[in-house]
Structure 1
Amino acid sequence: MAAEGSEDLSGNGELEYSSAMEATETPLPPPMEMSEENGGGTVAAEAVGPDSGTFSMPPTAEDEEGELPADFERLWKAAHDNPQDFTSWTDLLQYCEQESHMTASRRALVAFLARYPLCYGYWKKFADLERRSGNNDKAEEVCVTGLKAIPLSVDLWIHYINLLLGTLDMNLPESPKHIRSVFEEAVSAAGLDFHSDRLWDLYVEWEKEQGDMRAAAAVLDRVLQLPTQLYSSHYDKFKAHLMEHEPKLVLTTEEYEELRVLCRQSQKAERAEQAQEEEEERPPGEEEPATPEGHDSEELMQKIREQVLARRDKVYQQNEGEVRKRWHYEDAIKRPYFHVKPLDRVQLRAWHSYLDWEIAQLTKDPNEGNQEAQEGSEDTPPTEEASEGNGAVASDDHRVRVLFERCLIACALYEEFWTRYGQYLEPQSSAEARAVYRRACEVHLTHKHTIHMQWATFEERHGDLAEARRVLEAVEKTLPGLAVVRLRRAGLERRAGRLDESEALLREAVAESKEKPPLHAFYSIKLARLLLKLGKNPSKARGVLQEALEISPDNGKLHMNLLELEVAGDARASAEAVQDCVARALAAPLSPHTKLIFSQRGMQYAEDYGNSIQSVLTIYEQHQKLLKELGPRKRGAENGDEDAEKLSKAEDGSAAAAAAQQVAASMPHVPMSTPPPSMISGDVSSQGGYGGYGSWYQQSQYGNYGYQNTWNYNQGYYPPS
C-alpha cells in the first residue's frame, strides 16, 4: 500500500513521503450532512493473504562474479548471529548496494526478505537489480513472489505492472491480455485498500491507451462504488470521460440501448407537445419539416449523458456516505506500512477501533444505514437502488478481511492482531484460520511463544494432535528452556491419555534443569503432582521431591509439597513421616518465618492425629523452644489470632512478622508447662497457647508453598478478548 507519514527511511527500504505531497489530489473529508447510504457492489471476494502463509524465494544463482566483497562475510555473520536486529540487515543490504556486487546483493536480499517479507521496497529493489542485469524473467519472478507475501501492496503491484509494460512486446496479441489479467489480479487483491486510487487510475489510463473506452468506463464504474481516499476524483474522471466520447462508445450496449429508448420516448413526447403548439401558429398549407431517421442528434446524446450521470450520482452519494463513516478511522492511522519500530498505544487502539467498527457492520440492519442517511440528508432521500447497495455492503465480510490484512502489515509484530484474525476466521473456515496461525508463527513471529501455543491449542481443539505436538516441539527447539512450553507439551500428552509420555517429558525437564535449582524444583513439584494425583504412586512422588531437596535444601516450596504429600496419606501410618518432614524443614537453611510455619503445621497435625498426649506435649515444647530461638519478634505467632485483614495484605515474610510482633506486644505471654484447654471449649483469640495457629498456614502469602500454588502458565490457552 502507499506509504505515508513523515520522510524517513522506513522498514520498506524506501524514503517515505508525506501525505501532504498529494494535497492537490486529496479531497477534504466529506461534510457531515452528506448521505450515509452505502455504495453498490465490490470487487471479487478473493483471498487477500498469501496462500498458506508461505512463499518460496527465488533460487539464487551461482557466484558468477568470483569472490564476495571484503566486508560481506562480517556483515553477513552479524545479521545471522542476531537475526532480530533489523539494523544489521539494513547495513548488510546497504553495503551490497554500494559495492554493486550482483551475487552478494542477491544473496543478502533473499535472506532478508525471507525474514521480513512485508518490506515491499526491498522487493522492488530486488526486481530492479535483476532487470538491470538483463534478467527480465527473474525480475518478474521476484515481483510475483513478493506479491504472494504482501498482496495488498499497491506500490508493488504498480511496480510489477510497469515492469511488464516495459519488457513485454505489446505488438503480440497475448501481451495486452496478460497485462489486463494482471490488472484484474491487482484490483481484486488490493482494490479495496483505502489508498488504492493510484492502481485504479493506472488501470483506467491503460485501457484508454488501448483505445477501449468502454473498458475504461467499466473500470471507473467499479471504483465509483468503493470507499477510497480519492473517491471524488474518480467521479470527476468518469464525467470527463463521458463528455469526451459518445455515450455509445462508453456505455455497455445494454445500458446504452435502454437509455436511448428512454430518452427518445421522452424526446418524442416533448416534440409532440411542441409540434402541437407550432401547428397552431403555422400558416395554412405549410408542412412540418422532416427529421433525419437513424441518426442520434446531439440533443439526444446530451439527454443520455444526463441520465447516465443521474444514475452514477446516486452511486456516488452512497459511496460518499461510506467514505465519511471511515474517514476518521483512516485519518487516525499514521503508519500503514510495515516497520520494526514499535507502534504507540494510540495507533494500536486505532486499529482495534477500526476493526471493531468494520466487524460490527456485518451484523448491522441493512435498513439502519438508509434511515441514518435519510435523517442526515434531506436533499438525497434513499432509493431502491441505495437499499440494495447497502445490504450488499453490510453482508460482505471481504471488506473485513481486507482490513485485517492491512492491519497485519502495520502490526505484523503484534500477536494480538494475528490472534484476533484467527478468531474471526475460525467460525467460517478452520483452514483459513490455520493459514493465519501458520503465517504468524512461521514467518513473522518465529520467536514469540504465546502465538505458537495458541496455534497448538487451535489444532488440539480441532482434533489434530499430531500437528499440535509438532508446533510445540518446533517452538521449543527455537526457544529452548521455556517452562511454559514444556508444561504445555506435558499437558497435551496427559489430555490425550498418554500419561507415560507426559511423565517422560517432565522427567526430561527435571534432568536437564539440574544446573538451575529453582527451575529444577519447579519441574520436580509438577512431576510429583502428576505421579501422586494421576499416577496414584505416592512412593515415586516422594522420591522425586526428596531428590530435588538434595539439590535445593533451601527451597521452602519443595519442603511444603513433601509435607502435603505425607499429610494426604493415612493418618495412622503417616504421623512419623509428617514429623520427619517438619524436622527436615527445621534443619534446612530456610528463613525463620518459614520454619515457624512448618513448626505450626507439625503442631496442628499432632493435635489432630496424635496417638498420645505426650507426643502432643513434646511437639508443643519443641515449638516453644523454636519461638525463643527466633526471638521476641516472633512471639505473637504462637497464638495465631492476628488480624486477618493485615495478614492478607502482607506480601512477604517481613510484613507477616511485623503483624505478628504487633499482636504479641498487645498480649502478655504466660509460660506454660501444660497444654491449654481444648479450642472447642474456649474462645480462640483468648488462648495463650497453641490452639489458634491454624490461620497461619492458610494465609495467602504462604499459598505458593503448597499444592495450591499458582504458576501462571495458562497464557496462550485464553487469548486476549
Structure 2
Amino acid sequence: MPIDPNLLASLEGQSPIETLSKAVEKNPDDFDSWTKLLSKLDDQDIETMRKYYEQFLGRFPLCYGYWKKYCDQEIKRGSLKKQETIDRVNSIWSRAVAAAPYCVDMWIYYMSFASTYMIAEARDLFQKAVSLVGTDPGAGKLWDSYVMYESSCNSPETLAALYARLLSTPFKDLATYWDPYMAFASQQTVEILASDEELKTLETAFDGDERNKLKSDEDRHIMLKKMLIDARKAVFDMTLEKVKARNVFDKKFKRLYFHFKPVSQNDLANWRAYLDWELINGTTDSITVLFERCLIPCAYYEEFWVKYINWAHMARGLEDSMLIANRCLESYLPHSVKILLTKAELLEEAGDVEKTKSYCEEIVTKRCPELLEGIVFYIELLLRQHDRDGAEELMERFSNEDYSVEANGFIVVYMANYYWKVRKDLSMARSVLTSNKDRCQKSLPFWKFFMNFLYSTAEHPADELLALRGDCMGSALDYASKLEMYQLFLQYYATICEDVANIKQMKLDYSLWKLAVSAEQQAEEQRASQKRPSEESAQNTQTQSQAATQTQPMVQQQQQQQQPMMQQQQQQQPMMQQQPMMQQQPMMQMGQAMPQQMGTVPTDPNSPEYAQYYYQYYQYYGMNYGAQQPVPQK
C-alpha cells in the first residue's frame, strides 16, 4: 500500500514539495510522483515552477497536456498584454512542437495561441503544422483554425489554395469540408479558385475542343469553373477512399496519446497491422507520418523504433536513420540493445571507425557492461578492420572480467571457438577452455562446447571424454544440466568405443549415477520437510503449554478416580508369557539415501575405488552384478 506523501511529510517534518522532489530525484521515471509534484506548484515561486516543469518535460516531452499547463502557469504569473509573457509562452510552445513535431494536440494548442497573439507568424506555422500532422485523425480542429485564420485575412486566393490542399489531404473529418468549399467557390471566379498552373491546364483543355470555339467569354468562364470544380470533386472522392481505408485501423485504437502506462495488446497489434498496410500502400511521407504517430503512444516499445529505423535507412538514407536512432536513445530507450547495436552499425557504415570504436567502448563499459552482443560487435568490428591483435586483446580482456555465469561461459566459448575455427590454433583453444574450467563450472554451454571440442579434435577422444565427464560431474552444475551432459557423453562415447561391453557398462554407470543423485535429492527434501514441522511446532509450544496448564488439575483428578479400578483389573488378568520380538532389517528401497560411508563418485574408471564404489551400489540396490571396468579406447 503506497504511503500518502502528505502523511509522510507530516511525520518527517517535510513539506509535500520536498518529499515529492526527493522521490523524483531518486527515481526520475516515477511518473506518478512527478504528476503529484507538478500539481502542487500553483503557490510556488516562478523559478521553482519553471525548474520542475523543465525537468519533467525534458524527461517526458510527449505529455502535451503538461506543456499547456506550463504555458498556463506562465500566463497566470504574467499577462498576455505584455510582450515578455507572449514571447515566453511562444518559446515554450516552440520547444514543445520541436520535441514532439507529430503530436496533433500540441499543434492545436500552439496554433490557438499563435493565431491570436502571433498573427504575422501564424501562416507559416499553420503551413508547417498541417504538413506534419494534417493527416492525423484528430487534425479537424487544426484545419478549422487554419480556415478561420485565412478567412480573417481577407485573401480569397490564399483561402482557395488552402481548400485545394485540404480537399486532397486524408483525415477523419474530410467529408464535412465539401459543402463549405462549395459555398466559398460559388462566390469566386475561376481565376481565384485555380492556381496559375491549373488555369493554364484548364484553358488548354477547353480551347482544344472544337465545340467550344463559338462559345462566349461568359460561357467560357462558366465552363472553366465547372471543369475546376469537377477536378476538385474527383480528387476529393479519391481522398475519401483513402480515409475509409485508413479508418479501418484508426477506429480500433483506444489510446493515441502518450502515457507512461503500457499500451494495450489490441492497440499494439493494430499498430503492427496498420504499419504493414501503410508500408505497402502508402507514400514515403504517409509512412513517415504513421511511424511518428505510432511512436507517440508506443514511445517505449523497441520493436517500432527498430522497424522505423530499418525502413528509414532504406527509404530516406543513412543520415535520417541515424537521427531516429539518436532520438530513441537520448529520450526514450537509452539501454535498448537493438538500438544501441543499430547505431553502431550505422556509424561503421558511415566510415567513422574511430568513432565507432569509442561508441562500442561506451556500450560495454558504461551503458550495458554485460551486453554480450555489444562485446561481440566490438570484437568483430576490429576483425573487419583487420586488427587481429586488437580483437584478441579484447577477447582476453573480457574473458578475465567477472560477469554472470551465462556471460562468462559465453565469452570463453566465443574465444575458444575463434582460436579453433578462425585461427586454427587447437593448442590455444584447449588452453582457453582448460584454464576456465573452474570459472565456468556452472555454465552448461561451456561444458557442451568443451565436450564437442575434445570429441572433434583430441588425439585420444575416448580418454579425453572420460576425464571431462569426471570434471563435469564433479562441477557445480545443477542436476538437470549434469543429466543432459551425461546423455551427450553417452552419445559421443558410443560413436568412438569399439567394445560393446564398455558401452553397456557406461549405460549402467549412467543409470546408477541417476539413482545416486535421485537418492541424494530425496534425502535433502526429506530433511527439509522434517525441518518445517519442527519450526511450526516451536511456534505452537507456548499455546500448548498454556492449554496443558489449564487441563492438568482435571486430568489428575480423573487419574485418582480410575486408579483403584485399574489395580483390580490387573490382579484378575493372567500373567502373559513374554516372547522376544524378532529384529528385522528393513528392506532398502530404490531412491533411498545412500550410506554416508560411500563418499563421492570416483571419476577414474581404472581405479580400485571405482570398482569398490559400484560394488556397494550393487549390494545396496540388491543387484547381483559384478562391477566391470571399461577399457579406455583410443
| TM-score of the superposed pair, with normalisation by structure 1 | 0.59
CA–CA separation in structure 2 for the residues paired with 1:580 and 1:422: 51
Q: What is the root-mean-square deviation in Å for CA atoms of aligned residues?
A: 4.5
Q: CA separation of 1:517/1:355 partners in 2, compared to 1, >3 Å: closer, same or farther?
A: closer
Deviations 1:164-213 (CA, angstroms, capped at 9, x unpaired): 34444x6xxxx3xx322222222222223333222222122112212112
Matched, 1:341 2:261: yes
2:87 aligned counterpart, secondary structure: helix
The residue aligned with 1:450 is 338
Alpha-carbon distance, 1:433 to partner:
1.9
Whole-angstrom distance in 2 between the partners of 1:329 and 1:513: 50
How many angstroms apart in 2 are the aligned matches of 1:233 and 1:270?
36
Q: How does 1:244-643 map to 2 (within 5 A)?
A: 244=187, 309-361=229-281, 396-428=283-315, 429-460=317-348, 463-476=351-364, 477-513=366-402, 516-551=404-439, 553=441, 558-569=446-457, 571=459, 580-585=467-472, 587-588=474-475, 591=479, 593=483, 596=486, 600=490, 607=497, 623=506, 626=509, 630=513
Q: In structure 2, which of residues 92, 95, 100 is the aligned counterpart of residue 150 of structure 1?
A: 100
Q: 1:633: Cα distance to partner? A: 9.1
Q: CA deviation at 1:156?
A: 2.3
Q: Which residue of 1 aligns with 2:134?
A: 191
What secondary structure sits across from 2:295 in the alignment?
A: helix
Instruction: Determine the structure 1 residue equivalent to 2:557.
Output: none
Partners of 2:25 and 2:382 lie apart in 1 by: 35
Structure 1, unaligned stretches of length 5 or more? 1-68, 272-293, 363-395, 635-653, 655-667, 677-689, 692-721
User: Residue 452 of structure 1 contacts residue 471 of structure 1 at CA under 8 Å; is this kept in 2?
Assistant: no
Q: Which residue of 2 aligns with 1:92?
A: 37
Query: In 1, Cα distance between the equivalents of 2:444 and 2:329?
Result: 38
CA distance in 1, matches of 2:393, 2:63: 44
Question: 1:237/1:581 Cα in 2 relative to 1: closer, same or farther (>3 Å)?
Answer: same
Check whether the contact 1:582–1:598 (CA below 8 A) recurs between aligned residues: no
Contact 2:341–2:374 (CA<8 Å) still a contact in 1? Answer: yes
How has the CA–CA distance of structure 1 residues 80 and 603 changed in structure 2, closer, same or farther, with 3 Å as cutoff? same
Aligned with 1:118: secondary structure? coil
> Which string of whole-angstrom CA distances, capped at 9 and with x for unpartnered residues, describes residues 410-454 of structure 1?
322222222222222222312222222222222222132222223
Give the number of the structure with larger relative contact order, counting CA–CA contacts within 8 Å between residues 6 or more apart: 1
Shift of 1:351: 2.0
Alignment correspondent of 2:144: 201
Asked whether the 8 Å contact 1:358–1:400 carries over to 2, the reply is yes
Query: Is 1:164–1:179's contact at 8 Å kept on the other side of the alignment?
Result: yes
Q: Which amino acid aligns with 1:511?
A: N
> Following TM superposition, by how much is the alpha carbon of 1:217 offset from its aligned partner in structure 2, in angstroms?
1.9
CA 1:241–1:527: 2 relative to 1, 3 Å: same
Change (3 A) 1:184 1:671: same
Q: Matched residue pairs, number?
A: 504
User: How far apart, CA to CA, are the structure 2 residues paired with 1:217 and 1:547?
Assistant: 80
Provide the C-alpha distance between the structure 1 equivalents of 2:445 and 2:289, rounded to a whole number of angstroms: 51
Shift of 1:219: 0.8
Letter in 1 for 2:98: K
AA in 2 matched with 1:88? S
Offset at residue 267 of structure 1 (A) = 11
Aligned residue identity for 2:297: A
Distance of aligned partners of 1:76 and 1:489 in 2 relative to their CA distance in 1, 3 Å threshold: farther
Distance apart, 1:99 and its partner CA: 3.4
Contact 1:242–1:305 under 8 Å retained in 2 = no
Change (3 A) 1:126 1:504: farther
Q: One-letter code of the match for 1:122?
A: Y
Residue equivalent to 2:23: 78
Tell me, yes or no, if the aligned pair for 1:333 and 1:350 is still in contact at 8 Å. yes
- Is 1:162 equivalent to 2:162 in the alignment? no
Cα distance in 2 for partners of 1:158, 1:432 equals: 27
Identity score, percent: 25
**Relative to structure 1, is the Cα distance of residues 103 and 602 closer, same or farther in structure 2, using a 3 angstrom cutoff?**
same
- Whether contact under 8 Å (1:455, 1:471) holds in the other structure is no
What residue number does 2:60 align with?
116
1:231 aligned onto 2:174: yes
Q: Residues 239, 266 of structure 1: CA spacing in aligned structure 2 closer, same or farther, 3 A cutoff?
A: farther
- In structure 2, what residue type is equivalent to 1:339? H
Structure 2: how far apart are the matches of 1:103 and 1:318? 53
Q: In the aligned structure 2, how far is the partner of 1:269 from the partner of 1:595?
A: 98
| 1:137 matched residue in structure 2 | 87
Cα distance in 1 between the residues matched to 2:130 and 2:504: 86
Structure 1 residues 72-110: Cα deviation after superposition (integer angstroms, max 9, x where no partner): 454234224333332233233223x33343222222222
Partner-residue secondary structure (3-state), 2:96: helix
Residues in 2 aligned to 1:256 and 1:248: alpha-carbon distance in whole angstroms: 7
In 1: Cα distance, 2:491 partner to 2:198 partner: 91
Does the Cα contact within 8 Å between 1:586 and 1:598 map onto a contact in 2? no
Alignment CA distance shift 1:76-1:544 (3 Å): farther
SS of the residue corresponding to residue 436 of structure 2 reads: helix
Instruction: Please give the alpha-carbon distance, in whole angstroms, between the structure 1 residues aligned to 2:36 and 2:334.
Output: 22
Instruction: Name the SS for the 1:410 alignment partner.
Output: coil
- Aligned residue type for 2:27: N
User: Equivalents in 2 of 1:324, 1:588: separation in Å?
Assistant: 65
Partner of 2:123: 180
Asked if 2 retains the 8 angstrom alpha-carbon contact of 1:351 and 1:407, the reply is yes
Any idea what SS the aligned residue of 1:409 has? coil
Residue 671 of structure 1 and its aligned partner are, at CA, apart by 5.7
Asked if structure 1 preserves the Cα contact closer than 8 Å seen for 2:494 and 2:503, the reply is no
Query: How far is 1:550 from its partner?
Result: 3.0
For residues 50-73 of structure 1, what are the alpha-carbon distances to aligned partners after superposition, in whole Å with 9 as ceiling and x for unaligned?
A: xxxxxxxxxxxxxxxxxxx94445
Counterpart CA distance in 1 for 2:429 and 2:212 is 98
**Kindly tell me: are residues 255 and 452 of structure 1, through their superposed partners in 2, closer, same or farther at Cα, counting changes over 3 Å?**
closer
Q: Which TM-score applies when normalising by structure 2?
A: 0.67
User: Equivalents in 1 of 2:370, 2:458: separation in Å?
Assistant: 38
Q: Secondary structure at the match of 1:550?
A: coil
Which structure features the higher share of helix residues?
2
Deviation per residue, 1:321-363 (Å, 9 max, x gap): 222222222212332222222222322222222222223225x
Whether 1:210 aligns to 2:97 is no
Counterparts of 2:107 and 2:87 in 1: how far apart (Å)? 16
Which secondary structure does the structure 1 equivalent of 2:138 belong to?
coil
Unaligned stretches of 5+ residues in structure 2 = 1-13, 79-83, 518-590, 592-622
8 Å CA contact 1:585–1:598 kept in 2: the answer is no
Distance in 1 (CA, whole Å) between partners of 2:463 and 2:232 is: 92
8 Å CA contact 1:227–1:323 kept in 2: the answer is yes
Seen in structure 2, the aligned counterparts of structure 1 residues 240 and 180 have a Cα distance that, compared at 3 Å, is same
Distance 1:167 1:332, change over 3 A: same
